[in-house]
Structure 1
């Protein structure tokens, strides 16, 4: 059977999914700027905080919608961006609050996770020609380099106190993963190769750690970057720092390694065996995470022996599985990746796409019934939207740049 990637009808289906997602989130802009958390039917939950990471993701998504020529996208992107130059920006200490509550109270501390998404938003907004986009990117680069990039360690400092006076000793892979994603986009938009070399240092560390743990990535570290394998054993389903092995991150890292490889190759810069690492991470995630407990779907987390810990099915894990399979197919043209891609889109269409209210259910239980234990509502569009784009784009440049340069297939 001809792989779906090669079918114009499948690419049209992906495009329709992109448009449907953009339509679902059209009411996301908060009064005064920023993006709301979305309910199951796409309505803004105004009693929830304005989160920087959600706001940035929506700037990114609707900037790409603008580049795709989807009417209505630019006003949404511009309205979300207004939150990054307004309520979410810390004018006193610099940088961005992680969130601001409905009563105007900022969340304590400043996170690399949120600031990586500010970089992403800045690059996408710049590519889309949004007013203030390049200024946002320049400001984000300044803060990121001053506080979050640790040149000596070759990785990111995870969290600072609100006034940037005291760094937290915790170090985490999640922030570094989105830092790599952002660095690839900054390199594309600015033309500065140092961002690729920074991303390479992070990726090389992740590969070293994964090799030492049977191609499972430790997520949590102390200040000296020693892995803490039992971290959050008492909070196993934490939204951002769950215990054990996060299956979706193995898939996401596999894809990012291939994007980095392609970017380095384009400049004839040396690197390690990123394809080998990506295939090993992908296979370990599939073996330990997919269809392992009698029901289809990826479990959220496992322990270090590969036993499922949190059996719920998070939408973003399936989306990243699709993205990783697409990237590996693009890189290798091996049938196993085309087969996985098609299997997982069938799963998404059957279980995750909400054909009644729109978008994707963000969480299912172990029986694939919609649930809301970890992620209530349908907060944002980022993972699902990117799953509709990655199969239609080359491995480099990054998504917004590739769309801006007319590389969409």
Structure 2
């Protein structure tokens, strides 16, 4: 069944209808792809500094490698030169030095003798991106991708998925002992994206059903009961950890309080899941649209221009007070993507306004026309900062933001791009 969201729902004046805007998006995307090619290292991909250079001691990071593999695989499917070899390098790295060949799964980085045990744990966040990279590389027919996907899904099923809870478990010791006493929204949010991608690539609908179960718990139950704020940190018995990381509010993955950028990221994932379920079987819960709309409204209300300057800030306290005012690039990219998704889903001019407003902000403050790429983080006065994130970001959020607005809400990203280009 085709996605029941016709382009006719877009306002006549929408930027998404304009050929110059589409060309601008494509140009920005290709600039990002070229800038990040320097991130390749022997065992995968590593972080770039503000100038787009590797540090002398740069080593491969597994999450970054998986995300870059995903992007370059999709770009290779678009016929963009140089991207296929980079995707193949990423797949080979994930099959080789970054994998745990003794116990299965993936290390955060190539292990060394002096690596502390807590830095070698098997993380759900990383494994979600490995499965995403494998699924995208499979679509692009990258060598080794199907083997990587088979291994990733076996690990996901055996160790991370909790059928009883309907969520993914968080982390384990390298030998899969010592499960962490934690249930987190962030890793599960990214797992929703990966589940939809895997369902499209494998043809197995169970992954869509798992995505729906995750959304039901974290959003339709927990967030809905919190007026669509999204608490993220829970114990294994689902007690909210209100003081989690109070002493480290700028943590890059599990910050204290709540993250409005995640509210809006969940918003567009719910719309994609609604479209995926309809495309697969013709039915999706009506509350997916209702919850998606409320999440976007709450995210923008609590996070956008809270201190007088434009931009979506990083975190808020339980009473809505800003905690970390800095504006990460990914928050802006996800807000724009959510606005585009709601625009395509509803046709409401309100979302056209937000789509334009957020792109204007990104263009004015975040696109680095002097050194390349996007500035990863800005402070409350929209000046470059490095409180939460250092250096230039990997491609995952920014590059997808240049293509996702032009795609249907279903199928998932890599599959939709392959159909678009075909």
* TM-score under structure 2 length normalisation: 0.94
The aligned residue for residue 252 of structure 2 is 239
Q: How does 1:359-374 map to 2 (within 5 A)?
A: 359-374=373-388
**What corresponds to 1:307 in structure 2?**
321
Q: Secondary structure at the match of 1:406?
A: helix
Write out aligned runs for 1:9-408 (5 A): 9-31=20-42, 33-100=43-110, 105=115, 107-207=119-219, 208-266=221-279, 267-406=281-420
**More deviation, 270-279/304-313:** 270-279
User: CA separation in 2, counterparts of 1:336 and 1:128?
Assistant: 36
Q: Is the Cα contact below 8 Å between 2:138 and 2:146 reproduced in 1? A: yes
Long gaps (5+) in structure 2: 1-11
Deviates more, 1:68-77 or 1:340-349: 68-77
Q: Distance in 2 between matches of 1:42 and 1:89?
A: 27
Contact 1:47 1:102 in 2 (8 A): no
SS at 2:393 equivalent: coil
Measured in 2, the distance between the counterparts of 1:46 and 1:86 equals 23
**Equivalent-residue separation in structure 1 for 2:301 and 2:112 (angstroms):** 43
Distance 1:269 1:285 in 2: 27
- 1:199 alignment partner, SS class: helix
Q: Distance in 2 between matches of 1:340 and 1:270?
A: 26
Q: Distance in 1 between matches of 2:260 and 2:112?
A: 33
Q: Distance in 1 between matches of 2:55 and 2:136?
A: 25
Distance in 1 of aligned mates of 2:41 and 2:92: 9
Contact 1:393 1:407 in 2 (8 A): no
Task: Evaluate the alpha carbon distance shift between residue 229 and residue 407 of structure 1 in structure 2; reply closer, same or farther with a 3 A threshold.
Answer: farther
The TM-score normalised by the length of structure 1 is 0.97
Whole-angstrom distance in 1 between the partners of 2:113 and 2:35: 26
Distance in 2 between residues matched to 1:236 and 1:193, nearest whole Å: 38
**Aligned residues of 2:327 and 2:380 also touching (Cα < 8 A):** yes
Aligned counterparts of 1:383 and 1:270: Cα–Cα separation in 2: 27
Structure 1 pair 382/228, CA: closer, same or farther in 2 (3 Å)?
same
Distance 1:75 1:42 in 2: 20
**Contact 1:127/1:401 (<8 A) preserved:** yes
How well do the aligned residues superpose, as a CA RMSD in angstroms? 1.5
How far residue 41 of structure 1 moved from its aligned partner, in angstroms, is 2.2
- Aligned to 2:38, what secondary structure does the other structure show? coil
1:270-306 CA distance string (max 9 Å, x none): 4241111001000011111001101111110001211
Deviation at 1:48, TM superposition (A): 4.0
Q: What is the alpha-carbon distance in structure 1 between the residues aligned to residue 179 and residue 303 of structure 2? A: 34
Give the whole-Å Cα distance in 2 for the aligned partners of 1:206 and 1:15. 34
2: distance between equivalents of 1:104 and 1:85? 23
Q: How many residues align?
A: 407
How far, CA to CA, are the matches of 1:323 and 1:297 in structure 2? 14
Segment of structure 1 superposing worse, 374-383 or 116-125: 374-383
Higher mean C-alpha displacement, 178-187 vs 100-109: 100-109
Name which of structure 1's ranges 93-102 and 298-307 shifts more when overlaid on structure 2.
93-102
